[in-house]
Structure 1
Amino acid sequence: MFFRWRSGGSEVTTCACTPEWPELVSSLDGHPVRGVPSPGGSSPMVLMLGLVAVCGRCAARYRGGWAVAD
């Protein structure tokens, strides 16, 4: 319904940066969206829009919960 499910297991999921995950980014309608890790799981907005976060430096896919930064 409102969710856009994305499948695919071929993405890199191990960040090669030091320190790990220095910045999270996503894209919404062609515009960059900054993110922050969220220990409680992804925010409802992230889930509803089907956003996927990646490392801003090495482009590894972030598998943990995250939210859009302020």
Structure 2
Amino acid sequence: MFLRWRSFRRGAVSQCACTPEWPGLRSELDGHEMRGVPSPGGSSFLVLQLGLEATCAGCGAHYPHGWALADRD
């Protein structure tokens, strides 16, 4: 399937417990960890098309705002 719909779990934690909040974002794609960055304009096309969900790199909370994949170093 080319497009996967987001499946937010009920009761999923969406408040970061880290200090400072949201020290980094991560997602998983085919068993590989991908880094993410917040995106003020909403989620990127690639994130939406692949149905990726971001979590906090520290506590694992679900990131509720728009984000994009980070550039590879």
Q: TM-score, normalised to structure 2's length?
A: 0.91
**What residue number does 1:55 align with?**
56
**What residue number does 1:14 align with?**
15
Gaps of 5+ in 2: none
CA-to-partner distance for each residue in 1:11-62, whole Å, 9 max, x for gaps? Answer: 1000000100000000000000000000000000000000000001100000
Corresponding pairs, count: 70
Sequence identity of aligned pairs in percent?
A: 63
**What residue number does 2:3 align with?**
3
Q: TM-score, normalised to structure 1's length?
A: 0.94
Gaps of 5+ in 1: none
Of 6-15 and 48-57, more deviation after overlay is shown by 6-15
- Is 2:28 the partner of 1:27? yes
CA-based RMSD? 1.0
Q: What is the distance in 2 between the residues matched to 1:34 and 1:52?
A: 11
**How far has the Cα of 1:10 moved from its partner?**
2.0
